Amino acid sequence: MDLKLKIWRQKNANDKGKMVDYPISNVSPDMSFLEMLDVLNNELIEKGEAPVSFDHDCREGICGSCSLYINGEAHGPDRLITTCQLHMRTFKDGETITIEPWRAKAFPVIKDLVVDRTAFDRIQHAGGFISVNTSGNTIDANAIPINKADADNAFMAATCIGCGACVASCKNSSAMLFVGAKVSQFALLPQGQVEATDRVLNMVKQMDEEGFGNCTNTGACEVECPKGISLENIARMNREYLSASLKG
């Protein structure tokens, strides 16, 4: 396949940045999208040019670091996959592919296609955990009976990989799907009840302080989420927030 890539290049956080055209030839349809970028980078290095910076780690849909906006969609045109799971056979020979970083005030561009997503880490630190007594008297978690539907929904919420596609695809740059998933995975389990009030209040407060926008129920986040996290998690978080606020 021969392709024309239009890639966002930005030297650093202060650089204005611009789209740059890169033709690329002999791309195998069986390559992953990131492997195609590896080939481009090898060519750029051989020509003495700076390679394109992009985030990646596991390359198997687990870590959530491969955050690319491809042809106007977070993680590209396929559904329920991350950029590293996207294959070049999805595109047509001769096609022009536009590749941009996530765009959101709370995710500033560091370089080229790499954005700073530490805002998500700070939201997690604000309450995305449970405190467990590990003194030796801890009750085995499996000894506590949990309704099957609640266990399944908690597990589904826990599959959120923190990639940020929900924010990038939202016209308001809202992080409600991410925070909803992180609140829900504990709200549905007995182990999460002890810190439930503080958790939702603190995580939502941190989310607002980071500069993420409000949810206006557009639903783009759910469509673009590689893990199929449901909007029901936002509704659950709102219920948790209302209940926590009334408790004071």
Q: Which residues bind ligand SF4 (CB under 6 A)?
A: 160-166, 177-178, 181, 225-227, 229
- Minimum distance from residue 158 beta carbon to ligand FES (Å): 16
With left for phi above 0 and alpha for psi between -120 and 50, is residue 157 left, alpha or beta?
A: alpha
**From ligand SF4, ligand FES, none, interface partner of 82 (C-beta below 5 to 8 A by class):** ligand FES
**From ligand SF4, ligand FES, none, interface partner of 61 (C-beta below 5 to 8 A by class):** ligand FES
Whichever of 10 and 65 has its CB closer to ligand FES, that residue is 65
Asked if residue 128 lies in contact with residue 69, where contact means CB atoms within 8 angstroms, the answer is no
* CB within 8 Å of 241: residues ≥ 6 apart: 200, 201, 204
Q: What gap in Å lies between CA 182 and CA 127, rounded to an integer?
A: 9
**From ligand SF4, ligand FES, none, interface partner of 157 (C-beta below 5 to 8 A by class):** none
Q: Residue 100: how many CA atoms within 13 Å on its side-chain side?
A: 17
Burial class of residue 115 (count of CB atoms within 10 Å of its CB; 0-12, 13-18, 19+)? buried
- Minimum distance from residue 159 beta carbon to ligand SF4 (Å): 7
Whichever of 162 and 192 has its CB closer to ligand SF4, that residue is 162
Q: Is 45 in the site for ligand FES (CB under 6 A)?
A: no
- Minimum distance from residue 182 beta carbon to ligand SF4 (Å): 8
Per this entry, what is the length of the chain?
248
**From ligand FES, ligand SF4, none, interface partner of 2 (C-beta below 5 to 8 A by class):** none
Q: What gap in Å lies between CA 128 and CA 144, rounded to an integer?
A: 21
Burial class of residue 204 (count of CB atoms within 10 Å of its CB; 0-12, 13-18, 19+)? buried
Whichever of 128 and 164 has its CB closer to ligand SF4, that residue is 164
Whichever of 29 and 77 has its CB closer to ligand SF4, that residue is 77
Q: Which of residues 52-71 bind ligand FES (CB under 6 A)?
A: 56-59, 61-66
Terminal CA-to-CA distance of the chain, rounded, Å?
A: 60
How many residues touch ligand FES under the rule CB under 6 A: the total is 13
Q: What gap in Å lies between CA 76 and CA 144, rounded to an integer?
A: 41
Whichever of 41 and 218 has its CB closer to ligand FES, that residue is 41
Q: Is 162 in the site for ligand FES (CB under 6 A)?
A: no
Positions of E strands within 112-230: 114-115
Sites of contact with ligand FES (CB under 6 A): 56-59, 61-66, 82-84
